[in-house]
Structure 1
Amino acid sequence: MDSNKPKELLYLCQMAILSGLMLVPLLPIGMHLSTESPLYYLFIILHLGILLYTLLGATKSVLSLLAQESTIYRVSFTSIFSLATLYIVLQALLPVTVTDALIHHIAVPNWWARENYISEIPWHNWSYYPPLIHLAITGLFELGLGNYAALYHACYLFIFCGILAHFVRWKTDENKVALITYLVALTLPIAFRLATSPLVDLPLALFFGIAFVLAIYSVEEGVSTKLILLVGMALGLAFSTKYNSLPGMLAFVFGMIVFTIRRGQSPKNVIINTATISIVALLISTAWLYRNFELTGNPIYPLFQNLFPLKHDVLSGLPDLKPIEKRMLYYGESFFDLVLIPVRMIFFGQDHQPRHFDGTLSPLLVFLFLPLLQIRKRPWIMFSFIFSGFYFVITLFEAGARIRYLTPIALPLFSLAAVGLFSFLLFIKNQRVRNISLLFLLVAHFGLAAKYCSNELKQSETLTYFTTNQTKEDYLRHKISVYPMIELVNKALPPNSKTYLVYTGNRFFYYKNEVLGGYHSGALIINSLKNGIPLEKAFREAGVTHMLAHKARLLSVLKTQLNDQEKINWDIFLARHLQTIKEDSTFILWKVNVLESI
């Protein structure tokens, strides 16, 4: 491949964009026709076909780079790649236990597929979130492939790694660096975690990565209308995927403006290109933004609710602290601790521990800081740092310090780490010492990755599930504490029941009957008592027939949030209107007798 014209890289980017564009018509089709309509099936099949074609193309192109290397290199790469792929496939085929997926990412598509219609779910704030990948998962459910939603999500990781490898190959002109970058990105613990869960973070990383690559190519190799349009399309697809894209787009556009000016473009061209990219991105997202505006009066609901008056009542949340306030108040972190968060993420991240950034990276990423020394010589590196740094700061203050939230800047960060590692190795003049250093770093990384996979296999009991007669229900009872109660709700309650879930973890996906819940799931109780609204009236208007609660959590919230009179009102409601159906050590299921009362 000519390093100055990365044709394979550009082709993969365009095919991935085309695959994403096939999802855009699904929202109006699902809203105005049906998710069972021939048009919906046509576009979802086109999307899946192009996605798989792009996946195969990305893998084949990386293997073509590998074919140029020595036998021992090919064997090592193939072995690690095969083991990583096997791990991802096995973990992705387990019954879903990931909370975010059960609350949102497969729950909403499952409801839409049940109704065969893209409907509004007024109580579920997450159902108004960018729906692009949810539309695809809805299609999987319609095709009877819903159990493979995590594998679908994993496809984006392999395409992302392929594009990343070709970008690094273009920027370093080194096959080995590109291949190492591919494997390191593929085997990051956070990559394993995301690729084995039916979420939307990997498509977000891919679309932002594509926009980043095409923006750099357009500026360095000559801006064309086609490239500018493609950048806008990629950003539009990202915007339609997850709300993290909002600060991502702001940081991206700012970084690109600085980058293009630094490369000598006139202010007029910069303004025109920036406007074109922004307009195209908004056009891609028009159907979703218009739907939200029509339903709620806010195109980006539930964000910025103070700027847009709501068209109808929703289950509002409770006041909460800002992310930085939480870290300082709950974890006792100082200003110095906050400044060191980027380094702490690299070395001390832990899964499922918000204090430790809810994710695990690799020490190899520490090399991403070295290219700062080349920022004047290589403007694309400046673009990478501006984009990544600006986004990181916004996210830290507005969303929180979680590694998963960094997916929009994954490709620039990995690229910087690759260039930094390459520069570090070139600094070592002795070839033998250089090789030993590289081997040591890679063994350390892959050793940590192997340990992570081993721990996850044990914790998730993957081999036990696939090698014994354990049923899906048995597995879920063991892994989700509320699942026996979910089964009771599904089997014992009438089909027209509506169960209010209070601090149960909101695993909406597994409920067959109608439910009501939310992020602040006790808000209906707390807000009603605080506003002097009788609970029986609030429950009746919400149509609630039953309530399932985590006893200790509910008691704790009532104790801390209510005054003495409000506690008395709750006790009266409990005695008069709640009838216990089932209770265990953790949960309680009540029948709510309010539908015939005042």
Structure 2
Amino acid sequence: MLATGCIVILASVPPVSRDALIHHLAVPKMYLRHGGLYEIASMHFSYFPMNMDLLYLVPLYFKIDIAAKYVHFLFALFCAGLIYRYLRQTLNRNYGLLGALFFLTLPVIVKLSVTVYVDLGLIFFSWASLYLIIQWHDAGFPPRRLILAGIACGLALGTKYNGLLLLPILGTLIPILYASEKNRAVFHENFRLRYKNAFAGLGWSAIFIVIALILFSPWMIRNMVWKGNPVYPLYNSVFNPPAQPVFSETVEKEETPAKNAFWMRRHVYKESFWQTLSIPVRAFFQGQDDNPRYFDGRLNPFLLLLSLAAFIRARQPCFPAFTTHRTVLALFALLFILFVLFQTDFRIRYMGPAIPPLVVLSVFGIRNLSDLASRQTGAIKKAGQAAVTAVVLLALFLNGHYVYSQFSHIRPQDYLSGAVDRGAYISRFRREYPVIAHANKVLPADARVLCLSIGDRTYYLDRDLHLAEDFYDKTGGRYSEADVINKLTRYNTTHVIIDRGVLFDWLRTLPTEDRAVFLNVFKNNTRVLYEENNVLLLELALQ
């Protein structure tokens, strides 16, 4: 209850997290203004699946956006409840409570619980799907539980594209679980029956995948209609291959290296191949919030160390199917983390679906250590039990210290006490907010605002808005004033909000003649209405 209360307090401030202002609140707010879902061509992230984002329509409709954080946090509570249920069934109530508490207070879970993201929904649905598959195995393969697992997986796919990783992982585990269990009592020489069971397992896997895809299909159909790509913007070059350019015999095509995780780590962060390969271990020890180099989040080292302790040989298994459960949980977590490793860049929240299995394995590890200590006698036994208790307390202390540190960073007491009003609180974290607030006061209701170089954080703007993601791209291999003006006015733009510092930092990287193109466009075609924190509100005044 204390952990839940602390998280609720930390969440009770206006949303300022990056992706909430870019996407998870901004797009639903635009849907409300429009009166329904519609294509927002200037925002590629508006094509992402939005199961969780649609839930945020309710608090936004009633203008209580802080409540969207509570909605997100609910899925952490649901996941903790399912972890408790699983551990209570397999071990006992005390271990279940320990697992739920460990999960809820993990730094990355706390961080997500006080933001309006969607990752907690993905974590819950993926864990529910895995949990139901394990139950399906233990109960003798009743179809109902596999169908429910497929539904949970489909909801995960419709929450975030990272959920697509569930299909190959769970789709592979299902036939392995089915065939291994069915063939346990079959003679090795009976190849016909063994193959029959293997193909039956593949059939169950196909049913699971089809159910998941049916649940995911509304988002695929939407993107297929709008973009000709069911998973836009992923794999767009596959679904919408660009026209092949014609090269003369004397011109060589420039090869662009694939920017995978290893390329990013080598060229952006100057890490060696072995450093990159060790990320699945480093993430548990080196994570830092808001630092992409260190995975943009924090875990707890004991989440890894105690999970490894689950593989200590115990005097007797925790429960009859312990070995199978342990293997399935470990395989799922390992495969998911490895899949994430090979994405463009590694973020701890991207590996979120691996966290509940690791929490369960950690509790198994605690149980194994306790069992190992109980085998001893006399002073060794007491010392061993004390050591296990100390490890558990230290692990929870690290989590508790992170929760405590968030009060210094988020400072909810300032807002909740009334010492700082809503606008001042948001301005602490988002320097573009004063200009956005001014635009909401002075711009006409029919204004159309282009937001440039403010990190796409548009949620607080109460006017029709759009982005120009290609604004700084060359057209035809060059910059021209006509092209820049065309991009400025593409959506009948009347006003522009731009961060001058970001713009000038970028302009300094250009040759003088290219720099002059942009400076002339803004000098001759805009008028400054307001400026604060180096962010400008401009009115278009085309010559």
The alignment's TM-score, normalised by the length of structure 2, stands at 0.87
- Residues 1:234 and 2:152 aligned together: yes
Residues 95 and 363, structure 2, Cα contact 8 Å, conserved in 1 = yes
Deviation at 1:139, TM superposition (A): 2.9
Query: 1:75-114 to 2 correspondence within 5 Å?
Result: 82-114=1-33
Q: Classify 1:119/1:148 alpha carbon distance in 2 versus 1 (closer, same or farther; 3 Å).
A: same
Q: Classify 1:238/1:543 alpha carbon distance in 2 versus 1 (closer, same or farther; 3 Å).
A: same
User: Which one of the candidate residues 109, 116, 119 is aligned to 2:38?
Assistant: 119
Quick check: 234-243 or 103-112, which moved more? 103-112
The match for 1:222 is: 140
Residues 432 and 533, structure 2, Cα contact 8 Å, conserved in 1 = no
User: Which one of the candidate residues 267, 277, 286 is aligned to 1:329?
Assistant: 267
The aligned amino acid for 1:119 is Y
The match for 1:591 is: 539
Quick check: 338-347 or 151-160, which moved more? 338-347
The match for 1:475 is: 425
Query: 1:157-172 to 2 correspondence within 5 Å?
Result: 157-171=76-90
The aligned amino acid for 1:406 is M
The match for 2:307 is: 368
Alpha-carbon separation, structure 2, partners of 1:400 and 1:475: 31
Quick check: 570-579 or 288-297, which moved more? 570-579
The match for 1:343 is: 281
User: Which one of the candidate residues 558, 563, 573 is aligned to 2:521?
Assistant: 573
Deviation at 1:204, TM superposition (A): 0.7
Alpha-carbon separation, structure 1, partners of 2:274 and 2:88: 37
Name stretches of at least 5 consecutive residues in structure 2 with no aligned partner.
Answer: 184-196, 243-255
Query: 1:88-487 to 2 correspondence within 5 Å?
Result: 88-143=7-62, 145-171=64-90, 173-264=91-182, 266-309=197-240, 321-365=259-303, 366-372=305-311, 378-428=323-373, 429=376, 430-487=380-437
Partner of 2:450, secondary structure, is strand
Quick check: 113-122 or 198-207, which moved more? 113-122
User: Which one of the candidate residues 555, 558, 579 is aligned to 2:504?
Assistant: 555
| Count of aligned pairs between the two proteins | 503
The match for 1:48 is: none
Spell out, residue by residue over 1:11-30, the C-alpha distance to the aligned partner (whole angstroms, 9 max, x if none): xxxxxxxxxxxxxxxxxxxx
Deviation at 1:502, TM superposition (A): 2.1
Residues 262 and 379, structure 1, Cα contact 8 Å, conserved in 2 = no
Deviation at 1:297, TM superposition (A): 1.1
Alpha-carbon separation, structure 1, partners of 2:452 and 2:276: 34
The match for 1:488 is: 438
Partner of 1:547, secondary structure, is strand
Name stretches of at least 5 consecutive residues in structure 1 with no aligned partner.
Answer: 1-81, 312-317
Alpha-carbon separation, structure 2, partners of 1:335 and 1:126: 31
Q: Classify 1:310/1:115 alpha carbon distance in 2 versus 1 (closer, same or farther; 3 Å).
A: farther
Deviation at 1:363, TM superposition (A): 2.4
Q: Classify 1:559/1:470 alpha carbon distance in 2 versus 1 (closer, same or farther; 3 Å).
A: closer
Q: Classify 1:422/1:391 alpha carbon distance in 2 versus 1 (closer, same or farther; 3 Å).
A: same
Deviation at 1:469, TM superposition (A): 4.3
Query: 1:13-32 to 2 correspondence within 5 Å?
Result: none
Alpha-carbon separation, structure 1, partners of 2:429 and 2:93: 43
Alpha-carbon separation, structure 1, partners of 2:385 and 2:217: 52
Q: Classify 1:286/1:381 alpha carbon distance in 2 versus 1 (closer, same or farther; 3 Å).
A: same
Residues 296 and 310, structure 1, Cα contact 8 Å, conserved in 2 = no
Quick check: 481-490 or 262-271, which moved more? 262-271
The aligned amino acid for 1:586 is N
Residues 528 and 535, structure 1, Cα contact 8 Å, conserved in 2 = no
Query: 1:481-560 to 2 correspondence within 5 Å?
Result: 481-517=431-467, 521=469, 523-528=470-475, 530=477, 534-560=483-509
Alpha-carbon separation, structure 2, partners of 1:125 and 1:431: 60
Deviation at 1:503, TM superposition (A): 2.0
Alpha-carbon separation, structure 1, partners of 2:531 and 2:69: 34
Which structure is higher in helix share? 1
Deviation at 1:273, TM superposition (A): 0.4
Spell out, residue by residue over 1:136-173, the C-alpha distance to the aligned partner (whole angstroms, 9 max, x if none): 111333355543010111111111111112212333x2
User: Which one of the candidate residues 517, 522, 530 is aligned to 1:582?
Assistant: 530
Partner of 1:112, secondary structure, is helix
Q: Cα RMSD between the aligned structures?
A: 2.5
Q: Classify 1:319/1:568 alpha carbon distance in 2 versus 1 (closer, same or farther; 3 Å).
A: farther
Quick check: 425-434 or 528-537, which moved more? 528-537
Residues 171 and 206, structure 2, Cα contact 8 Å, conserved in 1 = no
Q: Classify 1:332/1:553 alpha carbon distance in 2 versus 1 (closer, same or farther; 3 Å).
A: same
Residues 251 and 388, structure 1, Cα contact 8 Å, conserved in 2 = no
Residues 494 and 540, structure 2, Cα contact 8 Å, conserved in 1 = yes
Partner of 1:361, secondary structure, is coil
Residues 307 and 358, structure 2, Cα contact 8 Å, conserved in 1 = yes
Alpha-carbon separation, structure 2, partners of 1:512 and 1:207: 33
Deviation at 1:532, TM superposition (A): 5.1
Q: Classify 1:310/1:151 alpha carbon distance in 2 versus 1 (closer, same or farther; 3 Å).
A: farther
Alpha-carbon separation, structure 2, partners of 1:320 and 1:455: 39
Q: Classify 1:496/1:334 alpha carbon distance in 2 versus 1 (closer, same or farther; 3 Å).
A: same
Residues 254 and 387, structure 1, Cα contact 8 Å, conserved in 2 = no
The alignment's TM-score, normalised by the length of structure 1, stands at 0.79
Residues 109 and 135, structure 1, Cα contact 8 Å, conserved in 2 = yes
Partner of 1:285, secondary structure, is helix
Q: Classify 1:389/1:527 alpha carbon distance in 2 versus 1 (closer, same or farther; 3 Å).
A: farther
Partner of 1:254, secondary structure, is helix
Alpha-carbon separation, structure 1, partners of 2:450 and 2:389: 55
The sequence identity of aligned pairs, in percent, is: 24
Partner of 1:548, secondary structure, is strand
The aligned amino acid for 2:10 is Q
Residues 264 and 344, structure 2, Cα contact 8 Å, conserved in 1 = no
Deviation at 1:564, TM superposition (A): 4.5
Q: Classify 1:340/1:319 alpha carbon distance in 2 versus 1 (closer, same or farther; 3 Å).
A: closer
Residues 259 and 382, structure 1, Cα contact 8 Å, conserved in 2 = no
Partner of 1:516, secondary structure, is strand
Spell out, residue by residue over 1:471-530, the C-alpha distance to the aligned partner (whole angstroms, 9 max, x if none): 211211223211111112212222222222222122211000122227xx4x31324484
Residues 350 and 360, structure 1, Cα contact 8 Å, conserved in 2 = yes
The aligned amino acid for 1:440 is A
